[in-house]
Amino acid sequence: MKTVEYTKIRPVRSLNLLSQEEIVKLSSPSAELHQLFRECALAILNTDSHEDDAEEIQQLYADFDIRLKPEPRGVMLEIFNAPAQSFVDGQIILGIQEHLSSVLRDIVYTDFKILAEQTNDPVVITDKVFRILRNANVVRPNVSPNLVVCWGGHSIPRHEYDYAKHVGYELGLRGLDIITGCGIGAMKGPMKGAAVGHGKQQITNGRYIGISEPGIIASESPNAIVNELVIMPDIEKRLEAFVRLGHCIVVFPGGVGTVEEIFYLLSILLHPDNKQSIPLIFAGPESCRDYFNTVDTFLKQCLGDDVADLYQIIIGQAGLVGSEVKKAMATVHQNRRDTGEAYYFNWQLNIDPSLQHPFLPTHENMAALNLNTDLPKHELASQIRAAFSGIVAGNVKSFGIKEVAKHGPYVIKGEPAIMHAIDELLKIFVREQRMKLGQGEGEYQPCYVIAD
């Protein structure tokens, strides 16, 4: 494990003028905000690593630190014992420097402007999501709908990555920009492909937007293609940012995190107050036909056969995915024009408060989930989303890993039919090694127990 003992850099494309209070909170080792900044900065400097255990990353670089140092021309970042992979000939890679600057920007703005305003009002929460994105210059006027959200696993085999890259290429040829969770695998593939497609079309301002949050960034460090990075304060605001910004969503094969994202979106689309829809396409290579058949069956078991009307499944045919997304964009564009709705942010989408309030994956909260088919479909989807969110936390997030280490696996219980469906899906994910990186078949230790 090689490190760079000391370097000093200036923030770029971001604020480098901070108040004394901001500097103290970000630099004092005892301050909670400093720890948050340190963990996110380490994740940035660990870009392209194949390690997805947040706790292990922190232990590997236990002596890493980052401080803010005021100077006559503004603030400098002092970095101690950083991963050497982020440097070339002793100089930090510019893209890494920009991502560090984005982390500084978002943490300062969120802590001092957003989290200081405590509220449970759904309208105000949505407004906060918008303001974070506006502060990061992600929401922009005078741009027609062209943002494709791509979800999928970070732990995928090479042929699935190549397929995601091919789809991204087809999207790039059609002048479409990409939003992902910013990590590797199915998040990097579409961006890399789109960059080639944009290049062929001589598009020089292609956008590769990565949206993360502090709990997940250590396990999904930003890939090198991301040129606009945003750190949302929690997973719920991250997910809301995806659906408010995106004009179409493409889902590639993934694990529990991908299933969490699917149920989040389906809960919104099933809500009786939402008359509009968001184009949703499941896409994968021929080798993933069984995967999507399994996911399709699972969704129908949980939410009824009618849920299949909300999505389209395309196997192979990357060009068809591109053309279907392009057609969907035209429909979204026309609907926004007809209704006078903003192109850059889907304000009219109704998101239930259960999807906006952060779900803390304690053992008590996981056991209290209501996983029963007598719930309205959108509420059941929200509850299942929370269950998978807890499994994600137990797999890769520091809080969840510590909870499982202290209290044992999460116990998930509910209606037998749903429990059986979840159990079968998770067994397939374990067998296909879609749960964590760096583990061979049979080595995964579940962070959950499915109750009979």
Q: Summarize pLDDT for 391-432 with one digit per residue, the tens.
A: 999 988 888 989 999 999 999 999 999 999 999 999 999 888
Q: Are residues 108 and 132 in the same domain?
A: no
- The domain boundary residue, chosen from 79, 114, 149: 114
Amino acid 51: pLDDT: 58
Number of structural domains the chain divides into = 3
**Does the residue 347 lie in any domain?**
no
- The domain boundary residue, chosen from 52, 84, 114: 114
Amino acid 215: pLDDT: 82
Rg of the Cα atoms in the chain: 21
**Does the residue 194 lie in any domain?**
yes
**Does the residue 119 lie in any domain?**
no
- HSE, CB side, 13 Å, CA atoms: give it for residue 261: 24
Amino acid 434: pLDDT: 87
Q: What is the C-alpha separation between 156 and 287, in angstroms, rounded? A: 12
Q: Are residues 438 and 399 in the same domain?
A: yes
What's the domain range around 71?
Answer: 3-114
**Does the residue 172 lie in any domain?**
yes
Q: Are residues 56 and 96 in the same domain?
A: yes
Q: Are residues 275 and 329 in the same domain?
A: yes
Q: Are residues 272 and 416 in the same domain?
A: no
Q: Are residues 360 and 322 in the same domain?
A: no
What integer is the mean pLDDT of 137-161?
A: 93
Q: Summarize pLDDT for 3-58 with one digit per residue, the tens.
A: 888 898 888 766 667 888 888 888 888 888 898 899 899 989 887 665 556 667 77
Both tokens of 57, joined, read 């990353």
How many H-runs (helices) and E-runs (strands) does the chain carry? 17, 14
What amino acid occupies position 452?
A: D
* C-alpha dihedral (209, 211, 212, 213), degrees to nearest 10: 140
Amino acid 384: pLDDT: 97
**Residue tagged 């957003």 (tokens):** 114
What integer is the mean pLDDT of 65-85?
A: 87
Q: Are residues 272 and 369 in the same domain?
A: no
Q: Summarize pLDDT for 238-247 with one digit per residue, the tens.
A: 999 999 999 9
Q: Are residues 386 and 313 in the same domain?
A: no
Amino acid 315: pLDDT: 98
Q: Are residues 200 and 285 in the same domain?
A: yes
**Does the residue 20 lie in any domain?**
yes
Q: Summarize pLDDT for 276-300 with one digit per residue, the tens.
A: 789 999 999 999 999 999 999 999 9
Q: Are residues 358 and 331 in the same domain?
A: no
- The domain boundary residue, chosen from 315, 339, 363: 339
With 50 as the cut, is the pLDDT of residue 234 above it? yes
Amino acid 117: pLDDT: 79
With 60 as the cut, is the pLDDT of residue 173 above it? yes
Of the pLDDT bands very low, low, confident and very high (cuts 50, 70, 90), residue 303 is very high
Instruction: Tell me the pairing of strands 65-71 and 74-83.
Output: antiparallel
Amino acid 26: pLDDT: 86
Q: Are residues 146 and 262 in the same domain?
A: yes
How many CB atoms are located within 10 Å of the residue 170 CB? 22
**Does the residue 348 lie in any domain?**
no
With 90 as the cut, is the pLDDT of residue 216 above it? no
**CATH at residue 66:** 3.30.1850.10
Q: Mean of the per-residue pLDDT values for the chain?
A: 90
**Does the residue 423 lie in any domain?**
yes
**CATH at residue 268:** 3.40.50.450
The residue among 170, 192, 169, 196 whose CA lies nearest residue 180 is: 192
Q: Are residues 174 and 322 in the same domain?
A: yes
